[in-house]
Amino acid sequence: MPHKKIAMEHDKNIALVAHDNKKGDLVEWAKYNRVLLAHHRLYATGTTGEILERELDLSINKLQSGPLGGDQQIGAKIAENGIDFLIFFWDPLEPQPHDPDVKALLRLAVVWNIPIACNRASADFMISSPLMDGEYDRLVPDYNLYRTRKIAEGDSGGQGTPEDSLKS
């Protein structure tokens, strides 16, 4: 599949997300990196956004809480090229009622080739990268071929039907 370039500006759109047991880690990390974060546009889900805004004294674009649709809001922004970088401190040891939303968010970040930091070490490496403070062309598969493909009548897009799987 051919690729296209999507330009990231000098000031990035950064989404900050954390599960309840990881909010303290994200806030501590963000306070340590406040100077680096200050010139970027910051987005966060629910309570995380409230805490970050108070602790950092920076403007945060606050979305819904994750379980109330915030993860999906960030995913939609990724698909619309409104988020350049996702910092998501998720809790691998605690099941979440909105696990499908979490998986969908991570999937969209991969589909649209968005850098993802899921823990402090990866966030440290990414935020301190020289690429964070400059323009960058992100390569993304050109999905226009997928969007404009011809689908024959009765074709389910290659997925088949449950009945088809019984025929093999």
The HSE-up count of residue 60 (CA atoms within 13 Å, CB side) is 26
Catalytic residue among 25, 71, 133, 137: 71
Q: How confident is the model at residue 90 (pLDDT cuts 50, 70, 90)?
A: confident
Is the model's pLDDT at 19 over the cut of 70? yes
Helix 23-32 with 46-56: angle, nearest 10 deg: 30
The secondary structure of residue 158, as a DSSP letter, is T
Return d(Cα 138, Cα 68) in angstroms, integer.
Answer: 30
Q: Is 57 a catalytic residue?
A: no
Q: How confident is the model at residue 2 (pLDDT cuts 50, 70, 90)?
A: confident
